[in-house]
Structure 1
Amino acid sequence: MSAVEVRSGLWSLRVAAAARELAWALAALAVLAPSAQAGSRDFNRPPRAAVNDVERIEARRTALFQTMLDDPGNLDAAFEYAALSSQVGDLEGAIATLERMLIFAPGLARLQLELGVLYFRLGAYGTAATYFDAAVSAANVPEEVRKKVAQYQVAIASRSETSMFSGSLGMGVRYQSNANSGPSSTIVTLNGLDFLLSDDARKSADGNGFLSGDVSGLFDLPAQGVAFKVSLRTYAEGYLEHQDLNLVYGEVAAGPSFDLNRFGLDGYALDLYGIAAGGILAGDPLTSSLGAGVFIGGRPTNDWFHGLRAEYRHERFYDSDAHARMSEKSGDRLQGQYVSSWRLSDRLTLDAAGTIDRFEAQFARNSYWQYGALVGLTVQYASPLESLSSPWSIAVTSQLSRRKHDAPDPMVSAIAQHTTKWTLAVTQTIPLTPDWAAQFQAGYQKSWSNYDTSAFDNATFGISLRKVF
């Protein structure tokens, strides 16, 4: 049995795979980012009735309309008519009814509040603000009305801005039991022969520091219902021992976003965007990609966000002294993804995602199909420390993927490679201030493969600080 040095061949394959996984992990984070705020209120859409309820609602509206003709001062009938009109999308009818009621009940806070809500959903923020101000102008306004008006006033202020920026910055340290994704066994089988791996290719623990950034911008365009979105995601890590794994990666996506309310898809938007990305490994160029994507998503209810994404990328890998054949792994990628987030309660959120990925490389051994699924549960709970009053949260995420290559790698086997990976991660978040939070992370990844060189496991432990803005 002899030792085999795999850094220029099989090791390069793992580096390329790791770089691809990092790029798509960052892309997945961008897709899932809205789910982190799935519990936030989104007012700019009318409630929608189920199709089989529309006929019943219309019959009831007809009866109520006759009641209002017979008794113009019947506020209960007017409120019910306006609510049902909103359910079937007739916001103008609901507004006309409530404004007519103001003649019979001038200054009624409930009427002014409901009119403000309806005008907000139409996007007439100035008129909505006028009604909201009037609703809380009296001295004896119920507290629940004042709270609801305050929510809308905050929303109006944010939506009235012509540009908005948001994002987060993170920094931390991490320990990995298998930093280089070395095989679980020190002996691997290559084309039916057993080889003893060299020290550099074996499983090796290491620690690293990392920096991450995620910044998004939204700019209103002159056309009604059209905005321009841009996002930038960056990641950098440096290792104590395996400095050949030091990585810097960045990705920018930009393009127009179209509000689909005008087409009857209340609360939905369509994003079209271009993509540019690149990475550097150990000081040498590793990868670059250009592409385009489309995403349609929205919130059918205040507690549910979901969306579909499709992307194309041309990815290039570059040769270096350490990785002489990386360019053979260049190719074209098509990916489809569905993401969803449900706020099950005030303290519980469920996230899920599914992905289909096709990568077409120059050589069939580097081409593959990949299927993946992710599910996550976030629980928010009261802080156990009096000095840190903001609620804490703990998130548990599990991810499973299956990759099947088109053809075998002649260096390894006469059979094409297939690999299954499972990851479990737990993240404890502790808010320190409104803008800063501490995070403690633990994770485990297991990889099963018919290629010994791709079968491994890795446990991680980390601590980080994150600032949101």
Structure 2
Amino acid sequence: MTVGKTLSGWACGVAACAILSFASASATWAAPRDFNRPPRAAAGDVEPIEARRAALFQVMLDDPGNLDAAFEYAALSSQVGDLEGAIATLERMLIFAPGLPRLQLELGVLYFRLGAYGTAGIYFDAAVSNGDVPEEVRNKVSEYQAAIASQNDASSFSGSFGIGLRYQSNANGGPASAIVNLNGLDFVLSEDARKAPDLNGFISGDFQGVFDLEAQGAEFKVNLRTYGEGYLKHDELNLAYAELAAGPSFDLNRFGLEGYTLDLYGIAGGGILAGDPLTSGLGAGVFLGVRPTLDWFYGLRGEYRHERFYDSDANPTLSDNSGDRFQGQLVSSYRLSDRLTLDLAGTVDRFEAETARNTFWQVGGMAGLTILYESPLARLPAPWSLSITNQIQRRNYDAADPMVSSAEQQTTKWTVGLTQTIPLTDDWAALLQTGYQKSWSNYDTGMFDNATLGISLTKVF
């Protein structure tokens, strides 16, 4: 039974559609499995589930009004990938229990999984049309309706814009000690090279555009990220950077990969430091995202960039850092409850610089927890959120820097951050941020720490 047949059967009569589905289901026990979705159940569980489905099928033939048997049969059909068999069963049950919100909700979910968002929306609307609907049904329907709305938008534009102030105890990342060891000899650093606190203002923007393509399940995404900062004392650290990523995105639902999306994109970026060209880069990336449930998302990203750095009077050897970056990343976000979300990420970098002393491997990990809670101030909207992030990175260089040591540099950085978000209106929020970074290295020049404290305003649209 195809999706089109299911839709026409629903329009012209539920009973006829159900008969056709039962006829095809009864032949399934002897025929090879050819369902429209891969099984969700483990391989070893498929055969017992099929045996149970056969028994339930007979129960439904003997007692067509048995709702419990129909619900169980539909749930098992969904587990083995027979979504249309599940749909036909539940649509038949509407004859015996018209207007039952649970039935309408489950039908909406099944049609959503098939990618038939229009029909799914009809069932979701029907599920909440009655005033006496359980709150959990309403909440679930709202989530699916929001997802359908985003799927149906031909194009959309969203983003955020922020401006703020930040204090750093070590703005220039200077070594922790005024005395460093270079090739076995102690040297006293100049004042400019030592740890120095400073205050800076910053501005950031993150903008996304999504445009519908004519091909089914295809969109074109554009993302622009910008950042700029200016320092009160150390204007040699003034920085501006922008990066653009753009490319097609494919919903793989129609290929039987439920909840999967594939993004292909090109990357272009560049920045300036203290008014001089700093870097430029071109590259490409691929991202495979998976949403097994509404509460869980994870994805695998691979990127390549050719990064070029430019010499200046203040930094005459920056071009030695030019090269090719290869990066792999695994990201995951899981909503533990309505008020608690866990984010995890792992990254592997390989940077092939023009000089061996700047070539390195880097591995890193991040864990973050976001907590939502009611506003303690009645005049301000809810919810407020508190985010805690913890990151660690390890970098190993391929060759020694002969100016510093005969050993290859090895550096480990640990960063912890805390962000309090306070909504002021529907689209404006205040952010209070604090953090601490510690760097350990076998090079004295790579040993430092830095504490930060900042406040900013952010607008989302």
Q: Does the aligned pair in 2 maintain the 1:404–1:417 contact within 8 Å?
A: yes
Secondary structure of the residue aligned to 1:234 is strand
- Indicate whether 1:191 and 2:180 are aligned: no
CA distance in structure 2 between the aligned counterparts of 1:453 and 1:143, rounded to whole angstroms: 59
CA distance in structure 2 between the aligned counterparts of 1:222 and 1:265, rounded to whole angstroms: 20
Residues 383-398 of structure 1 aligned to structure 2 (within 5 Å):
383-398=375-390
Aligned to 1:16: none
Superposed displacement of residue 150, structure 1: 4.3
User: Which of 401-410 and 68-77 deviates more?
Assistant: 68-77
Q: Please tell me the residue identity of whatever aligns with 2:444.
A: D
CA distance in structure 2 between the aligned counterparts of 1:371 and 1:151, rounded to whole angstroms: 36
Aligned to 1:124: 116
- Give the fraction of aligned pairs with identical amino acids, expressed as a percent: 75
CA distance in structure 2 between the aligned counterparts of 1:282 and 1:177, rounded to whole angstroms: 20
- Indicate whether 1:202 and 2:185 are aligned: no
Secondary structure of the residue aligned to 1:53 is helix
Say if 1:419 and 1:137 are closer, same or farther in 2 by CA, change over 3 A: closer
Q: Does the aligned pair in 1 maintain the 2:53–2:73 contact within 8 Å?
A: yes
- Indicate whether 1:452 and 2:448 are aligned: no
Aligned to 1:48: 40
Secondary structure of the residue aligned to 1:388 is coil
Aligned to 1:95: 87
Aligned to 2:273: 281
Q: Does the aligned pair in 2 maintain the 1:46–1:86 contact within 8 Å?
A: no
Q: Does the aligned pair in 2 maintain the 1:364–1:406 contact within 8 Å?
A: yes
Say if 1:197 and 1:80 are closer, same or farther in 2 by CA, change over 3 A: same
Superposed displacement of residue 118, structure 1: 2.0
Superposed displacement of residue 381, structure 1: 2.2
Determine which structure has greater relative contact order: mean sequence separation of CA pairs < 8 Å that are 6+ residues apart, divided by chain length.
1
User: Which of 285-294 and 100-109 deviates more?
Assistant: 100-109
Say if 1:152 and 1:396 are closer, same or farther in 2 by CA, change over 3 A: closer
User: Which of 279-288 and 78-87 deviates more?
Assistant: 78-87
- What value does the CA root-mean-square deviation take over the aligned residues? 2.1
Q: Deviations over 1:322-381 (max 9, x none)?
A: 111111110111111111122222222221111111111111111111111111122222
CA distance in structure 1 between the aligned counterparts of 2:163 and 2:155, rounded to whole angstroms: 27
Aligned to 1:66: 58
Superposed displacement of residue 142, structure 1: 5.5
Q: Deviations over 1:289-336 (max 9, x none)?
A: 111111112122222211111111110000111111111110111111
CA distance in structure 2 between the aligned counterparts of 1:352 and 1:151, rounded to whole angstroms: 23
- Indicate whether 1:311 and 2:299 are aligned: no
Residues 236-315 of structure 1 aligned to structure 2 (within 5 Å):
236-315=228-307
Task: Report the number of matched residues.
Answer: 425
Q: Does the aligned pair in 2 maintain the 1:236–1:247 contact within 8 Å?
A: yes
- Indicate whether 1:75 and 2:93 are aligned: no
Aligned to 2:331: 339
Q: Does the aligned pair in 1 maintain the 2:360–2:398 contact within 8 Å?
A: yes
Provide TM-score, normalisation by structure 1.
0.86
Specify which of 100, 113, 116 is matched with residue 105 of structure 2.
113
CA distance in structure 1 between the aligned counterparts of 2:397 and 2:174, rounded to whole angstroms: 20
Superposed displacement of residue 389, structure 1: 4.2
Residues 412-427 of structure 1 aligned to structure 2 (within 5 Å):
412-427=404-419
Aligned to 1:360: 352
Superposed displacement of residue 253, structure 1: 0.8
Q: Please tell me the residue identity of whatever aligns with 1:94.
A: A
- Indicate whether 1:404 and 2:412 are aligned: no
Give unpaired runs (5+ residues) of structure 1: 1-44
Aligned to 1:370: 362
Q: Does the aligned pair in 2 maintain the 1:46–1:121 contact within 8 Å?
A: no
- Indicate whether 1:379 and 2:366 are aligned: no
